[in-house]
């Protein structure tokens, strides 16, 4: 790996650490005071960043609480549309799931806290639903680009089934399953496929 690639990797890791710290502090503040119970200045102080830095990472309090939308790397997206990496649609969708999970630093307490604040703050729940629709629409678009014959309806149904598998994995994780999330995802997906076959 070249020196510039190492530097980029370090910068990316530092940026993600800062994003995670800001989101964690935002969620804690919401849990203690409610979404409208603290100003952005308090969040900046709690996250140990300047107000300007805070807004460089997140344009609003709501975005800080929810964190950034998970991204699928461009090379992974391109490989999926070309028909890979396995050549089987469901397996390749699982690979997209892995790409998202691999970029997330998930902690059980943080997932529990987020679940709690979502159920007690309707605006956050609405925002999460909007993000969910945005991510689903993006992945549906990739499926249809890969195989136009599948159509929008079946692509959307398939993506929603995979989201259900992901929800099942997160519930198992919160309940104490410490195995890597990608391994759990594969196991739950295999169980779903067996049930539907």
Tens of pLDDT along 34-68? 999 999 999 999 999 999 999 999 999 999 999 88
Name residues of the chain where pLDDT drops below 50.
none
pTM of the model as a whole: 0.80
Instruction: With CA atoms as reference, report the closest residue to 179 among 101, 113, 66.
Output: 101
What pLDDT score was predicted for residue 1?
Answer: 54
Rounded distance, CA 89 to CA 16, Å? 30
- pLDDT tens across 142-152, in order? 999 999 999 99
Cβ count within 10 A of residue 11: 10
Instruction: With CA atoms as reference, report the closest residue to 139 among 100, 188, 88.
Output: 100
157 and 92 Cβ atoms separated by less than 8 Å: no
What pLDDT score was predicted for residue 31?
Answer: 94
């Amino acid at each position: 790996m070249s020196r510039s690639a190492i530097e980029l990797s370090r910068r990316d890791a530092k940026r993600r650490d800062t994003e995670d710290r800001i989101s964690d502090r935002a969620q804690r503040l919401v849990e203690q005071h409610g979404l409208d119970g603290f100003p952005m200045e308090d969040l900046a102080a709690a996250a140990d960043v300047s107000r300007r830095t805070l807004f460089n990472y997140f344009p609003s309090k709501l975005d800080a609480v929810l964190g950034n939308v998970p991204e699928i790397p461009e090379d992974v997206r391109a490989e999926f549309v070309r028909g890979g990496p396995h050549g089987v649609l469901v397996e390749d969708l699982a690979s997209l799931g892995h790409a998202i999970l691999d970029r997330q630093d998930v902690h059980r307490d943080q997932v529990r806290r987020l679940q709690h604040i979502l159920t007690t703050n309707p605006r956050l729940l609405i925002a999460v639903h909007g993000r969910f629709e945005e991510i689903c629409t993006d992945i549906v678009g990739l499926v249809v680009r890969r195989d136009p014959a599948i159509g929008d309806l079946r692509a959307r149904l398939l993506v929603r089934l995979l989201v259900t598998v992901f929800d099942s994995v997160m519930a198992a994780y919160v309940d104490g399953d410490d195995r890597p999330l990608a391994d759990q995802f594969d196991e739950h997906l295999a169980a779903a496929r067996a049930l539907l076959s």
